[in-house]
Structure 1
């Protein structure tokens, strides 16, 4: 069902008969075979399509176009010289002076509409993308490549060229502003983006263009596999290899493993990262996501729309994930400015839109979520923001431990219920909820029954879903770039990050950012009293024997079974699915496994770990407030304590502030040593607000609690069959039965 989408934009030419003929004529030598393959690859790269270079004035389109054309042995067309001046019988500058900017764009567009070519490299003018009809004409038979050069580099180049005004730049408008204005047009039309960081030669940029075009045409190569699949299985079961769209929709692999990119993570050069230093969060997000998501799965223009919707007005801070100085060499990465006041919003304002784009339009989907608190409200809010059409076919049920989340978290989850989302309390802990969801997903009889009977498929929005984990990579990379942008460090200087984590998703995203080229020295794993991860990172022994889950004031990390750890073990074990299967089978059956020595050494190259007691957590909240006036939430306080103990102060440390303190008002009030604490969540928030705290009480949370004080929710027993019955009831009420 997905292959049709992936092939729509591909027009490759393969002349098998001609290749056979070549082999008969020429002797079979290694040198010739390599030369022949290179030539045939070049031939098929162009085919009957054009490679169209687009970008601002000074981006190097003309020079790069000539080099690309030479390498491909095909015709090169410069729109300024070969189309416009030929059509007008005058220079571009004379035409501009004659008609003015606005009329020039129209005349330029008309000329381009009359032009056609195939199998060529075409260098557009800087203003061509501002004329919609002509760009639609160009795209019909061309792959549009955007040469994305940092604005400051363009300005420097134009100054050297003694260009002080460009098309569309009215009096009083700066060069920077007009270049920024034009970006909206470039974003609308390109198929591929090539980052052209400062200092690159035109030859290197040309090679990057060719590599990008090859990637664009080779959509088959970017696939996902389960962390538990072996290579022999992949040979026998072609269906076990998935595209991005399939991995997103299915959520969990059929063998119980988690999806990961088969070829590994994309990487950025230091120069490419540096080109994003001045970019906004939204711009950084799109560039990073484009490296992970093949345009055959989600085209660049659609991905851009999704990113802008996700990180728009629903965040209270325009920087989305701002970096705040705390004390010493410590910085807080504030991840709580989304609508539900936790770091989960950074992923779950984006993920539902990715999901809605990927799922087949003629099928209903029920997204199942196990949550220890924050994920529940974030999922419900995120999926409630889909279009009305999408909400008719996509619904969400969140299962949470009825007595294992804070009162405010529960009130918020109940308050976030919408026409396509429900919260269900389970009389157990988070680990049971998460395990139960996995069992439901892997019950093929049950999922098959739902599909046949109700035309409804199941999916997941926990961080077991790749589309949920992927957006978290962005803010770790962005935080480092912000340190560079603020001149606190130079690019290449190391930092540490300290992250409170129970399910290992947030810290895994930081480890991925490191693999992609962000200079993170150590990832510090911070646990509360449920410190199974701390013990594992220190010893290599993951041991659940005799452990009971403790309820703490930091419930989001009250977790003993860390699902995303599986992805990291798969990574450091060089994709050994058989080993991963063995380890997690031992954990399931024997409640423990031991990592072999060489893998433990690999694990400890990137990770250190510590944990924090309840008393120390509350003391840290009090101490930071007393000295700075800033209130940490209970999870961030744990990371602060662990960072103080483990960070050696030779480089900055970024502490992930994963939630707003408003969600844990009773614990915060105790930490601040306020004697009288009322039971009503709204009263608690009003009391906190009276202290004029920094940051202020979260407005979105206040609004949700005020509007939904009387909403109800369902409660079910800790029984997988009971949960399955509840799911079927939801489907019966939400979706029509298939007859």
Structure 2
């Protein structure tokens, strides 16, 4: 058996996600005095004199990044020896200057000899400044990393070029004839990205003193990983889960829902990025922005930087039809749409669900099978199935995905997308009820100890979720709201610091919550505008302070993805708005579960209203907006984006730009859109309907992946359950048996 204290040590140095199974076993198997071992890793670390437990602090970056100067400053502040590889290692080894050595042997041989010169390098507890070319030699970097923490000084390329020019440096190692300085710096970027443990993002024009302070802050965060904990919105002990153990990113990704029924949130809130951090990202691609932002939110001891970068670039590298991933397009007047539908299933859910399965699989304990349970109002289901299908074979063998959707509450195209997944450990099941019943049933399963215990003992299977109640599902959505603002800055629509409003068609409130988190990180979003259809429970709540589901039936609409009455992520928003009052949130949402009603205190409602505007849109107004926008601009809105457009027109004061989240491609709701455009409704097959829309030649163009899915797919039989909890439970057990109990 492994004492809990040893688990902390393993988690600290080898990453939490890869030893969670050991920790889980120790927490549940140990009893008595052994379980209260007095050894404290955090106390042990704080007793050390070094930031990194006698490891070297290794500064890496291109020539001109300031590694030598910054290294001396950092060493002086920490009272550590400083080693400059150029002066203290290479020149002593070669008995000549680095420039002379390069002239003598040439570029390729120089890299080999530089790497060989570090073969017997030995130091501890020092600040080490690398050469700009050290990272190009894999063997040397592997040796250095064994006893060092590598910090990448990520300096703006234009700053580097200016500095090298001032130093009269016109060529660096590996720069051949006809290759510009910018090209060789761009080429080297891949090597710096491969090796760093933490990135020091430097602002344009930062002084050496500012970079040194940034290095110290980065080191402090790297060392103090145990402080980045999560809490439940329903109280619990601060910084711990219900079992008394700290909950970190890898824990909450795997668990999904807190054991007390609440949702996980970062205990200390989101990191606040400075203006110069955001300005560095203006010129970046979407994957680079995502990597930079997520590095600030996920500790590298949970998901190492190189792994996170790999996952991000796999998620967004080739699966989106538009190179910009989530482009912002001008619509009319001060209104912009952010197109979030260029992913493989044509909805905004792809932005999170191409990445979330990779994070989930990385954080999984190795000793259990996991079944992902998902309730969907249409778009989430196909996005989850597609995202988890992209995992490697080994991960797919121990991860199953079961989607419950309202059989009569999704569009025909959405149903075809979901039921086309019949291979591997993936399945969609229709339910003779609405989305809220599906979601309520899943939350009940998580809280049913007899069920979860039976699945664990009988099948070594654990339940988790990929709905937006899971933190790893919500977090990637913060990126696209941030990216929208950076796009407006890049296009000159705003100067950084100018406010914008964000209008989101919302049902489950996750998209709104992620915009609120982007604001916490420093994006100047003024108002969050919640746009509802005729199921206007959020609008009524904002008006009255009462969340009332009593005698409120769900009304099917042409915007089914927001046909939701119970907005799960509102719980997170109220937790933050109430200054983390977990007891109040517990009382409110337990009342909602028992009595289908709660009312917030007046002071809390006023605080919510300072941040949020809310309105709703009728069916006729939604369809009229589709027609009017197409007539005036040639742009086709889907039914959800049209809801957002109508509400933005009514509530936004036009004193600043508003970004409307375009959450789905219009092709997913072709009959309604064709009807709105007065071209006939549900005539022909879904493929015929998409062909009719494509023939208009309007913006945005037809969705290629959607067309391909319909060409290859066909209506397939799929299980349909009555609105009965026991029937859904049975489907869960059947799915687990089919996925994890097959005999080879």
Common fold, TM-score beyond 0.5?
yes
- 1:661 corresponds to which residue? 666
- 1:561 corresponds to which residue? 566
Q: Is the 8 A contact 1:507 1:523 kept in 2?
A: yes
Question: 243, 254, 259: which one pairs with 1:254?
Answer: 259
Question: 346, 354, 360: which one pairs with 1:349?
Answer: 354
Q: CA 1:550–1:136 in structure 2 vs 1: closer, same or farther (change >3 Å)?
A: same
The alpha-carbon deviation at position 103 of structure 1 amounts to 1.7
Quote the Cα distance in structure 2 between the aligned partners of 1:617 and 1:548: 20
Question: 268, 276, 279: which one pairs with 1:274?
Answer: 279
The alpha-carbon deviation at position 233 of structure 1 amounts to 10
Cα deviation, 1:332-380, whole Å, max 9, x if unaligned, reads 1110000000000000000001010111122111100000000000000
Q: CA 1:328–1:416 in structure 2 vs 1: closer, same or farther (change >3 Å)?
A: farther
- 2:81 corresponds to which residue? 75
- 2:182 corresponds to which residue? 176
Cα deviation, 1:579-625, whole Å, max 9, x if unaligned, reads 10011112122222122122112212211111111111111111111
Cα deviation, 1:712-732, whole Å, max 9, x if unaligned, reads 211001111110011101111
Q: How does 1:467-506 map to 2 (within 5 A)?
A: 467-506=472-511
Identify the range of structure 1 (586-595 vs 74-83) with the bigger mean alpha-carbon deviation. 586-595
- 1:129 corresponds to which residue? 135
- 1:546 corresponds to which residue? 551
SS of the residue aligned with 2:371? strand
Q: Is the 8 A contact 2:238 2:267 kept in 1?
A: no
Matched, 1:363 2:368: yes
Identify the range of structure 1 (551-560 vs 541-550) with the bigger mean alpha-carbon deviation. 541-550
After superposition, the CA RMSD in angstroms is 1.8
Matched, 1:327 2:318: no
Identify the range of structure 1 (183-192 vs 538-547) with the bigger mean alpha-carbon deviation. 538-547
Quote the Cα distance in structure 1 between the aligned partners of 2:239 and 2:694: 58
Q: How does 1:330-729 map to 2 (within 5 A)?
A: 330-675=335-680, 677-729=682-734
Identify the range of structure 1 (425-434 vs 75-84) with the bigger mean alpha-carbon deviation. 75-84
- 1:91 corresponds to which residue? 97
Quote the Cα distance in structure 2 between the aligned partners of 1:243 and 1:630: 44
Quote the Cα distance in structure 2 between the aligned partners of 1:310 and 1:323: 20
Q: Is the 8 A contact 1:55 1:148 kept in 2?
A: yes
The alpha-carbon deviation at position 57 of structure 1 amounts to 1.3
Q: Is the 8 A contact 1:42 1:72 kept in 2?
A: no
Q: Is the 8 A contact 2:356 2:473 kept in 1?
A: yes
The alpha-carbon deviation at position 558 of structure 1 amounts to 0.5
The alpha-carbon deviation at position 679 of structure 1 amounts to 4.4
Q: Is the 8 A contact 1:526 1:638 kept in 2?
A: yes
Gaps of 5+ in 1: 11-36
Q: Is the 8 A contact 2:672 2:681 kept in 1?
A: no
Quote the Cα distance in structure 1 between the aligned partners of 2:490 and 2:169: 28
The alpha-carbon deviation at position 97 of structure 1 amounts to 2.0
Cα deviation, 1:665-689, whole Å, max 9, x if unaligned, reads 0001001101364242111112222
Quote the Cα distance in structure 1 between the aligned partners of 2:127 and 2:713: 59
Cα deviation, 1:382-432, whole Å, max 9, x if unaligned, reads 000000111111010000000001111111111234312100000000000
Quote the Cα distance in structure 2 between the aligned partners of 1:405 and 1:417: 19
Q: Is the 8 A contact 2:675 2:681 kept in 1?
A: no
The alpha-carbon deviation at position 243 of structure 1 amounts to 1.5
- 2:25 corresponds to which residue? none
Question: 195, 200, 216: which one pairs with 2:201?
Answer: 195
Quote the Cα distance in structure 1 between the aligned partners of 2:306 and 2:490: 27
Quote the Cα distance in structure 2 between the aligned partners of 1:510 and 1:478: 11
Identify the range of structure 1 (584-593 vs 283-292) with the bigger mean alpha-carbon deviation. 584-593
Quote the Cα distance in structure 2 between the aligned partners of 1:158 and 1:553: 59
Q: Is the 8 A contact 1:455 1:737 kept in 2?
A: no
Quote the Cα distance in structure 2 between the aligned partners of 1:727 and 1:382: 20
Quote the Cα distance in structure 2 between the aligned partners of 1:115 and 1:301: 24
SS of the residue aligned with 2:331? strand
- 1:229 corresponds to which residue? 235
Q: Is the 8 A contact 1:226 1:257 kept in 2?
A: yes
Quote the Cα distance in structure 1 between the aligned partners of 2:122 and 2:681: 77
Q: CA 1:107–1:330 in structure 2 vs 1: closer, same or farther (change >3 Å)?
A: same
Question: 293, 296, 300: which one pairs with 2:301?
Answer: 296
Quote the Cα distance in structure 1 between the aligned partners of 2:10 and 2:193: 21
Gaps of 5+ in 2: 16-42
Q: Is the 8 A contact 1:432 1:718 kept in 2?
A: yes
Quote the Cα distance in structure 2 between the aligned partners of 1:218 and 1:49: 15
